A and B are shown apart, each in its own frame.
Chain A
Amino acid sequence: EKTKENVFSKLTKMIAGKSTVDDDVLDELEEILVTSDVGVSTTLKIIERIEDRVARDKYLGTSELNAILREEITGLLEENNSADFDKLNINDNARPYVIMVVGVNGVGKTTTIGKLAHKFKQSGKKVVLGAADTFRAAAVDQLHIWGDRVGVRVVSQQMGSDPASVAYDTLQSAVANGEDVAIIDTAGRLHNKVGLMNELTKIKNVMQKVVPDAPHEILLVLDASTGQNAIEQCKQFTQATDVNALALTKLDGTAKGGVVIGISDQFKIPVKYIGVGEGINDLQLFNKVEFVNSLFKN
Chain B
Amino acid sequence: MFDNLSDKLDRAFKVLKGHGSITEINVAETVKEVRKALLDADVNYKTAKAFTDTVKEKALGMNVLTSVSPGQLMVKVVNDELVELMGGNVSELDIKQNPSIILIAGLNGAGKTTFTGKLANYLKTQKGKKPFLVAADVYRPAAIDQLKVLSEQIGVPVYTDYESKDPVKIAEAGIAKAKADGNTVVIIDTAGRLAIDEQMMNEIADVKAATKPHEILFVVDSMTGQDAVNTAKAFNDRLDFTGVVLTKLDGDTRGGAALSIKSVVNKPIKFIGTGEKMDAIDVFYPDRMASRILGMGDVVSLVERA
Q: Which residues of A contact B (CB under 8 A)?
A: 31, 34-37, 39-40, 104-108, 114, 135-139, 141-142, 144-146, 149, 190-193, 223, 225-230, 232, 250, 252-256, 259, 278
Contact = CB atoms under 8 A, between A and B. Distances in A.
Contact of A145 (B40, B41, B142, B221): B142
Dominant SS among interface residues on chain A? loop
B157 interface: no
B257 A227 contact: yes
Q: Which of B143, B226, B230 has the most CB of A within 10 A?
A: B226
Contacts of B141: 114, 141-142, 145-146, 149
B149 A36 contact: no
Interface stretch (B84-92, B104-112, B168-176): B104-112
Dominant SS among interface residues on chain B? loop
Nearest to B196: A254
B111 A226 contact: no
Interface string B140-180: 11110111111001000000000000000000000000000
A228 B251 contact: no
Interface of B: 1-2, 36, 39-42, 44-45, 107-111, 113, 139-143, 145-150, 153, 194-196, 221, 223-228, 230-231, 248, 250-254, 256-257, 276
Contact of A227 (B42, B146, B149, B248): B42
A253 B276 contact: no
B251 A229 contact: yes
Given A138-B149, A226-B223, A108 B108 contact: yes
Contact of B40 (A35, A39, A253): A39
A144 B141 CA distance: 9
B107 A34 contact: no
A36 B36 CA distance: 15
B139 A278 contact: yes
A105 B145 CA distance: 18
Given A40-B36, A228-B41, A255 B142 contact: no
B143 to A, nearest CB: 8
A254 B111 contact: no
Nearest to A255: B227
B221 A40 contact: no
B32 to A, nearest CB: 11
A278 B248 contact: no
B251 A225 contact: no
B251 A190 contact: yes
Contact of A34 (B39, B195, B224, B231): B39
Given A105-B248, A225-B221, A141 B142 contact: yes
Contact of A253 (B39, B42, B196): B196
A192 B252 contact: yes
12 contacts: A104-B251, A106-B248, A108-B109, A137-B153, A141-B141, A144-B142, A145-B142, A225-B225, A226-B224, A227-B224, A228-B2, A255-B227
B251 A34 contact: no
A41 to B, nearest CB: 8
A27 to B, nearest CB: 10
B201 to A, nearest CB: 12
- Lowest 8 A-B CB distances belong to which pairs? A227-B225, A106-B109, A227-B42, A255-B227, A145-B141, A137-B149, A138-B146, A141-B142
B39 A250 contact: no
Nearest to A145: B141
A190 to B, nearest CB: 4
Given A39-B39, A108-B108, A225-B231, 17 more contacts: A34-B45, A40-B39, A137-B145, A137-B146, A141-B146, A142-B141, A190-B250, A223-B109, A223-B223, A225-B221, A226-B225, A228-B42, A229-B223, A232-B1, A250-B194, A253-B231, A278-B140
B45 A141 contact: no
